[in-house]
């Protein structure tokens, strides 16, 4: 939590610039200033963060949330633990690993707390329909492309390949925009990306090319989940894309809003409540949020904040012991 005034670092509302300036200039004691870590500009987290912050700032006069451009789940968790941001978005995969110390830092980030479920992301694996690549085994010896270096997509792709023993001839690490251009130009054979659905990049590719979504078999899924307890089985529903002519089994990662145990119970209660109040607006940013339910918080891989526990209990959700932090027992 910030005790001094801070100019919002996220996108300023273009239609109300004067009001935005006035809000930013108000004395620190008039508001509680919170910094929310998101993703690159234009990413799902960034767009979602701007929508969420606007609703809170317009609805709760004692709170002022600013959106920070960030590096995604692992970066947001590190910044949150270091006290450099107050809120953030992350996958349950990243939160579970970072909380338990399964990371390059070999450090347990035990102060992080979840408070709001958001939407599932999927490891989407695709090739052009004209390609002979129709299954995971077909990727062997081919040119694959994942997300940018350090991204969830890149890490998930390498992890998946290692577990299933898949050795592509080459694995490129580039943003999805570059990835689909390379596929159009036949520079790669298969693409892999972690994102919500429907993914804009996939719809863009489908506008010019027929696409094939590559599913995991039940045996492959069972093998993967046995090695990755923070991952889960998901389904890209029939009709999500033109190419999804039937349900596609895919690895899924839930996205959650996180904070630190340092933030007050009342503040986090309000932030949790606001997330459900603003569900319709948030779904305009990420469509899958229209399906968000209070019980989805049970998919968290880390304890919940005390303020969130109070909210969910009021909604009739029974919180299992694994999600109750020491300070709430």
Report helix angle 73-81 to 92-100, nearest 10: 40
Three-state DSSP at 3 gives: coil
Query: Per residue in 134-180, pLDDT tens?
Result: 999 999 999 999 988 877 889 899 999 999 999 999 999 988 889 99
Do the two domains 14-120+255-328 and 121-253 of this chain adopt the same fold?
yes
Q: 55-63: long-range contacts at Cβ-Cβ below 8 A with a sequence spacing of 24 or more?
A: 55/274, 55/277, 55/278, 55/281, 55/282, 56/271, 56/274, 56/278, 57/23, 59/274, 59/277, 59/278, 60/270, 60/274, 61/31, 62/31, 62/32, 63/31, 63/32, 63/34, 63/267, 63/270, 63/271
Residue 196: pLDDT band (50, 70, 90) is confident
Q: Name the pTM for this structure.
A: 0.78
What is the spatial distance between Cα 319 and Cα 302, in angstroms, rounded to a whole number?
Answer: 12
Task: State whether the Cα torsion 12-276-46-187 is positive or negative.
Answer: negative
Give the total residue count for the chain. Answer: 329
Mean pLDDT of 223-247: 94
Residue 40: pLDDT band (50, 70, 90) is confident
Residue 34: pLDDT band (50, 70, 90) is very high
The overall average pLDDT reported for the chain is: 90
The answer, yes or no, to whether residue 241 has pLDDT greater than 50, is yes
The answer, yes or no, to whether residue 45 has pLDDT greater than 60, is yes
Q: What is the reported pLDDT for 42?
A: 73
More confident call, 40 vs 307 = 307
The answer, yes or no, to whether residue 296 has pLDDT greater than 80, is yes
Task: State whether the Cα torsion 124-235-201-118 is positive or negative.
Answer: negative
Task: Residue 159: name the closest of 77, 251, 74 by CA.
Answer: 251
Percent of the chain with pLDDT over 90: 76
What is the spatial distance between Cα 256 and Cα 126, in angstroms, rounded to a whole number?
Answer: 26
Query: Per residue in 84-136, pLDDT tens?
Result: 999 999 999 999 999 999 877 789 999 999 999 999 999 999 999 999 999 99
Query: Per residue in 50-68, pLDDT tens?
Result: 999 999 999 999 999 999 9
For residue 66, which phi and psi values (nearest 5 degrees)?
-110, 145
Q: What angle (nearest 5°) sits at the alpha carbon of residue 19, between those of residues 13 and 25?
A: 105
Alpha-helical regions (H) of 60-105 = 73-81, 92-100
What is the spatial distance between Cα 14 and Cα 30, in angstroms, rounded to a whole number?
Answer: 24
What is the spatial distance between Cα 216 and Cα 239, in angstroms, rounded to a whole number?
Answer: 18
Please state the CATH superfamily assignment of the domain spanning residues 14-120+255-328 in this structure: Periplasmic binding protein-like II (3.40.190.10)
What is the spatial distance between Cα 237 and Cα 229, in angstroms, rounded to a whole number?
Answer: 23
Give the end-to-end CA distance of the chain in Å, rounded to a whole number: 24
Q: What is the reported pLDDT for 325?
A: 98
Q: What is the reported pLDDT for 151?
A: 79
Q: What is the reported pLDDT for 41?
A: 79
**Domain residue extents for the chain:** 14-120+255-328, 121-253
Query: Per residue in 198-208, pLDDT tens?
Result: 888 899 999 99
Please state the CATH superfamily assignment of the domain spanning residues 121-253 in this structure: Periplasmic binding protein-like II (3.40.190.10)
The answer, yes or no, to whether residue 273 has pLDDT greater than 60, is yes
More confident call, 327 vs 2 = 327
């Amino acid at each position: 939590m910030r005790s001094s005034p801070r100019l919002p670092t996220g996108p300023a509302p273009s239609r109300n610039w004067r009001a935005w300036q006035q809000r930013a200039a108000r004395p620190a004691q008039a508001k509680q200033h919170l910094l929310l870590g998101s993703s690159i500009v234009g990413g799902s987290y960034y767009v979602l963060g701007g929508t969420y912050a606007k609703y809170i700032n317009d609805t709760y006069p004692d709170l002022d949330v600013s959106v920070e451009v960030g590096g995604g789940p692992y970066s947001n968790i590190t910044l949150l633990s270091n006290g450099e941001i107050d809120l953030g978005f992350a996958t349950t995969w990243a939160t579970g690993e970072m909380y338990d110390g399964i990371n390059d830092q070999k450090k347990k980030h035990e102060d992080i707390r979840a408070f709001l479920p958001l939407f599932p992301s999927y490891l989407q694996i695709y090739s052009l329909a004209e390609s002979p690549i129709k299954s995971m085994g077909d990727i062997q010896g081919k040119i694959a492309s994942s997300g940018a270096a350090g991204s969830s997509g890149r890490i998930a792709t390498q992890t998946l390949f290692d577990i299933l023993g898949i050795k592509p001839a080459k694995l490129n690490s580039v943003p999805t925009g570059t990835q689909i251009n390379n596929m159009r130009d036949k520079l790669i054979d298969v693409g892999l990306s972690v994102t919500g659905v429907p993914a804009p990049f996939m719809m863009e590719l489908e506008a010019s090319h027929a696409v094939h979504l590559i599913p995991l078999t039940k045996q492959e899924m069972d093998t993967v989940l046995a090695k990755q307890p923070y991952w889960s089985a998901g389904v890209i529903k029939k009709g999500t894309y033109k190419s999804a002519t039937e349900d596609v089994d895919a690895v899924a990662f839930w996205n959650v809003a996180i904070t630190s145990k340092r933030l007050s119970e009342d503040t986090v209660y309000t932030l949790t409540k606001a997330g459900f109040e603003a569900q319709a607006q948030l779904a305009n940013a990420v469509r899958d949020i229209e399906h968000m339910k209070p019980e989805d918080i049970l998919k968290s891989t880390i304890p919940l904040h005390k303020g969130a526990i109070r909210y969910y209990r009021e909604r009739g959700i029974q919180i299992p012991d694994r999600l109750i932090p020491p300070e709430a027992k």
